[in-house]
Copies of this chain bind each other. A is one copy, B any other.
Amino acid sequence: MSDDDRVFKALADPTRRFLLDLLFARDGRTLTELESELEMTRYGAMKHLKVLEEAGLVVTRRSGREKLHFLNPVPIRLIHDRWIDKYTERQVSALTELKHELEGNS
């Protein structure tokens, strides 16, 4: 399986996107801490984190018996660059900002 295939497949699941949201809010969490936020057993959470790690979206570091998880935003940026060229970026950006404002998320 290619690198980008792993990234897109990893992002396809809502639980995994939620895990990225958690790490985006605060990095360096352990498996147990992340698992406690999910409606799922530890084994399910582990599988999801493994998928994210193999895709390079999450990087980890061992600290004693704990495993700390960190978000890696680089693959996300590469997605963006694939279908939005530098010439159209300005217009698209304007459109999405408008969308945010209309939704009250600005």
Q: Which residues in A have some Cβ–Cβ distance to B below 8 Å?
A: 2, 4-5, 8-9, 11-12, 14, 17, 20-21, 24, 71, 73-74, 76-84, 88, 92-93, 95-96, 99-100
**Are the C-beta atoms of B73 and A92 separated by less than 8 Å?**
yes
Say yes or no: A71-B95 contact (C-beta < 8 A), given A9-B12, A12-B8. Answer: no
Question: Could you list 11 further interchain pairs (A-B, Cβ under 8 angstroms) beyond the known A77-B84, A78-B99, A81-B100?
Answer: A8-B12, A8-B17, A73-B88, A74-B92, A74-B95, A76-B79, A76-B84, A77-B92, A77-B96, A78-B96, A79-B80
Task: Tell me which of B5, B24, B74, B84 contacts A96 (CB under 8 A).
Answer: B74
**Are the C-beta atoms of A83 and B79 separated by less than 8 Å?**
no
Give the shortest distance, in Å, between A9 (CB) and chain B (any CB).
5
Say yes or no: A80-B74 contact (C-beta < 8 A), given A12-B9, A14-B5. Answer: no
